[in-house]
Amino acid sequence: MPDDEFDEEFEGFDDDDFVVQPLDDHEAGMVARDLADLADFEETFAPEGYRGVAVFCHDCVEEHLYPWGMLRENLTTLIETGETPVHEPAFAPEPDRYIPWDYARGYVDALRDAGVGERVELEACPRCNLAFEGVLTKGNFCPRCATPLLVGRLRATLLEQGLDEDAVTAIIRRCGLTG
Protein backbone atom coordinates (compact mmCIF):
# COMPACT_ATOMS: atom_id res chain seq x y z
CA MET A 1 0.00 0.00 0.00
CA PRO A 2 1.55 3.35 -0.97
CA ASP A 3 2.05 5.88 1.81
CA ASP A 4 -0.69 8.21 0.56
CA GLU A 5 -3.28 5.40 0.65
CA PHE A 6 -2.16 4.48 4.16
CA ASP A 7 -2.48 8.10 5.26
CA GLU A 8 -5.99 8.34 3.75
CA GLU A 9 -7.12 5.15 5.47
CA PHE A 10 -6.09 6.38 8.90
CA GLU A 11 -6.92 10.06 8.37
CA GLY A 12 -8.60 11.48 11.41
CA PHE A 13 -7.27 8.76 13.70
CA ASP A 14 -5.61 10.18 16.79
CA ASP A 15 -3.81 8.11 19.42
CA ASP A 16 -5.30 10.40 22.06
CA ASP A 17 -8.79 9.22 21.02
CA PHE A 18 -7.97 5.62 21.95
CA VAL A 19 -9.63 4.60 25.20
CA VAL A 20 -8.54 1.48 27.04
CA GLN A 21 -11.48 -0.72 27.94
CA PRO A 22 -11.36 -2.59 31.24
CA LEU A 23 -11.63 -6.36 31.12
CA ASP A 24 -15.08 -7.84 31.48
CA ASP A 25 -15.73 -10.33 34.29
CA HIS A 26 -15.02 -13.36 32.11
CA GLU A 27 -11.72 -11.94 30.81
CA ALA A 28 -10.67 -10.85 34.31
CA GLY A 29 -11.47 -14.35 35.57
CA MET A 30 -9.30 -15.93 32.88
CA VAL A 31 -6.38 -13.63 33.75
CA ALA A 32 -6.86 -14.37 37.46
CA ARG A 33 -6.64 -18.08 36.59
CA ASP A 34 -3.41 -17.39 34.70
CA LEU A 35 -2.06 -15.63 37.81
CA ALA A 36 -2.91 -18.65 39.96
CA ASP A 37 -1.29 -20.97 37.40
CA LEU A 38 1.80 -18.76 37.34
CA ALA A 39 2.13 -19.03 41.13
CA ASP A 40 1.90 -22.83 40.87
CA PHE A 41 4.47 -22.88 38.05
CA GLU A 42 6.90 -20.73 40.02
CA GLU A 43 6.51 -22.90 43.12
CA THR A 44 7.15 -26.02 41.04
CA PHE A 45 9.89 -24.88 38.65
CA ALA A 46 11.82 -22.04 40.35
CA PRO A 47 13.55 -24.47 42.77
CA GLU A 48 14.80 -26.33 39.70
CA GLY A 49 16.50 -23.15 38.43
CA TYR A 50 13.90 -21.92 35.94
CA ARG A 51 13.72 -18.13 35.71
CA GLY A 52 10.21 -17.86 34.31
CA VAL A 53 7.94 -19.00 31.50
CA ALA A 54 8.08 -18.99 27.73
CA VAL A 55 4.84 -18.01 26.00
CA PHE A 56 4.34 -18.48 22.26
CA CYS A 57 2.94 -15.34 20.60
CA HIS A 58 0.69 -16.07 17.66
CA ASP A 59 0.84 -12.44 16.50
CA CYS A 60 4.60 -12.30 15.92
CA VAL A 61 5.13 -16.09 15.71
CA GLU A 62 7.87 -16.00 18.35
CA GLU A 63 8.33 -17.21 21.88
CA HIS A 64 8.43 -14.49 24.55
CA LEU A 65 10.39 -15.12 27.74
CA TYR A 66 8.96 -13.70 30.95
CA PRO A 67 10.67 -13.78 34.33
CA TRP A 68 8.27 -14.78 37.12
CA GLY A 69 7.91 -11.29 38.61
CA MET A 70 7.52 -9.49 35.28
CA LEU A 71 4.68 -11.72 34.10
CA ARG A 72 2.97 -11.50 37.49
CA GLU A 73 3.13 -7.68 37.28
CA ASN A 74 1.89 -7.68 33.67
CA LEU A 75 -1.10 -9.91 34.49
CA THR A 76 -1.95 -7.86 37.59
CA THR A 77 -1.79 -4.63 35.56
CA LEU A 78 -3.97 -6.23 32.88
CA ILE A 79 -6.67 -7.00 35.45
CA GLU A 80 -6.44 -3.50 36.96
CA THR A 81 -6.24 -1.38 33.80
CA GLY A 82 -7.19 -3.53 30.83
CA GLU A 83 -3.76 -3.27 29.21
CA THR A 84 -0.27 -4.61 29.79
CA PRO A 85 2.88 -2.52 29.99
CA VAL A 86 5.36 -2.63 27.12
CA HIS A 87 8.72 -4.15 27.97
CA GLU A 88 11.99 -4.77 26.24
CA PRO A 89 13.19 -8.33 25.68
CA ALA A 90 15.80 -9.54 28.14
CA PHE A 91 19.46 -9.31 27.22
CA ALA A 92 20.92 -12.81 26.70
CA PRO A 93 17.92 -14.49 28.38
CA GLU A 94 19.06 -18.15 28.17
CA PRO A 95 15.84 -19.65 26.73
CA ASP A 96 16.54 -23.05 28.30
CA ARG A 97 15.99 -21.45 31.71
CA TYR A 98 12.33 -20.67 30.86
CA ILE A 99 9.66 -23.35 31.02
CA PRO A 100 7.06 -23.35 28.21
CA TRP A 101 3.65 -22.27 29.57
CA ASP A 102 1.71 -25.19 28.06
CA TYR A 103 4.23 -27.74 29.33
CA ALA A 104 4.16 -26.18 32.81
CA ARG A 105 0.35 -26.28 32.89
CA GLY A 106 0.27 -29.96 31.91
CA TYR A 107 3.00 -30.87 34.38
CA VAL A 108 1.35 -29.07 37.31
CA ASP A 109 -2.03 -30.59 36.39
CA ALA A 110 -0.44 -34.05 36.40
CA LEU A 111 1.05 -33.37 39.84
CA ARG A 112 -2.42 -32.41 41.09
CA ASP A 113 -3.96 -35.53 39.56
CA ALA A 114 -1.33 -37.63 41.33
CA GLY A 115 -2.17 -35.94 44.63
CA VAL A 116 1.30 -34.47 45.10
CA GLY A 117 -0.07 -31.35 46.81
CA GLU A 118 -1.79 -33.49 49.44
CA ARG A 119 1.16 -35.75 50.15
CA VAL A 120 2.87 -35.97 53.49
CA GLU A 121 6.18 -34.18 53.14
CA LEU A 122 9.33 -36.12 53.95
CA GLU A 123 12.30 -34.30 55.42
CA ALA A 124 14.87 -36.92 54.40
CA CYS A 125 15.29 -40.18 52.50
CA PRO A 126 14.66 -43.15 54.83
CA ARG A 127 17.49 -45.09 53.16
CA CYS A 128 20.39 -42.67 52.55
CA ASN A 129 19.27 -39.80 54.85
CA LEU A 130 19.56 -37.15 52.12
CA ALA A 131 17.80 -34.03 53.44
CA PHE A 132 14.96 -32.86 51.20
CA GLU A 133 14.03 -29.24 50.55
CA GLY A 134 11.38 -27.54 48.43
CA VAL A 135 9.59 -29.72 45.92
CA LEU A 136 11.78 -32.70 46.80
CA THR A 137 9.82 -33.13 50.05
CA LYS A 138 6.88 -34.34 47.94
CA GLY A 139 8.83 -36.41 45.42
CA ASN A 140 8.29 -40.05 44.51
CA PHE A 141 11.95 -41.11 44.63
CA CYS A 142 15.12 -40.01 46.37
CA PRO A 143 17.26 -38.10 43.86
CA ARG A 144 20.47 -39.57 45.35
CA CYS A 145 19.73 -43.30 45.79
CA ALA A 146 16.44 -43.65 43.81
CA THR A 147 14.64 -45.24 46.76
CA PRO A 148 10.84 -45.10 46.31
CA LEU A 149 9.46 -42.83 49.01
CA LEU A 150 6.01 -44.43 49.30
CA VAL A 151 6.94 -46.51 52.37
CA GLY A 152 8.39 -43.48 54.17
CA ARG A 153 5.31 -41.43 53.33
CA LEU A 154 2.98 -44.28 54.45
CA ARG A 155 4.95 -44.65 57.70
CA ALA A 156 4.67 -40.90 58.43
CA THR A 157 0.93 -40.92 57.64
CA LEU A 158 0.21 -43.88 59.92
CA LEU A 159 2.24 -42.31 62.72
CA GLU A 160 0.24 -39.06 62.26
CA GLN A 161 -2.92 -41.14 62.76
CA GLY A 162 -1.70 -42.13 66.23
CA LEU A 163 -0.39 -45.64 65.59
CA ASP A 164 2.77 -46.61 67.43
CA GLU A 165 5.97 -47.52 65.62
CA ASP A 166 5.54 -51.29 66.12
CA ALA A 167 2.00 -51.25 64.68
CA VAL A 168 3.16 -49.20 61.69
CA THR A 169 6.05 -51.58 60.99
CA ALA A 170 3.67 -54.57 61.22
CA ILE A 171 1.20 -52.98 58.75
CA ILE A 172 3.96 -52.15 56.29
CA ARG A 173 5.38 -55.69 56.46
CA ARG A 174 1.94 -57.25 56.14
CA CYS A 175 1.37 -55.24 52.96
CA GLY A 176 4.64 -56.58 51.58
CA LEU A 177 6.27 -53.19 51.33
CA THR A 178 9.50 -54.19 53.11
CA GLY A 179 11.77 -57.12 52.51
CA distance 105 to 135: 16
Look up the pTM and report it.
0.62
Give residue 142's Cα distance to chain centre.
22
Three-point CA angle 73, 75, 108, nearest 5° = 105
pLDDT string in tens for the chain (179-residue length): 555 555 555 565 555 555 678 889 999 999 999 999 999 999 888 878 899 999 998 888 888 999 999 999 999 999 999 888 777 666 777 999 999 999 999 999 998 888 777 778 899 999 999 999 887 887 888 989 999 998 998 999 999 999 999 999 999 999 998 74
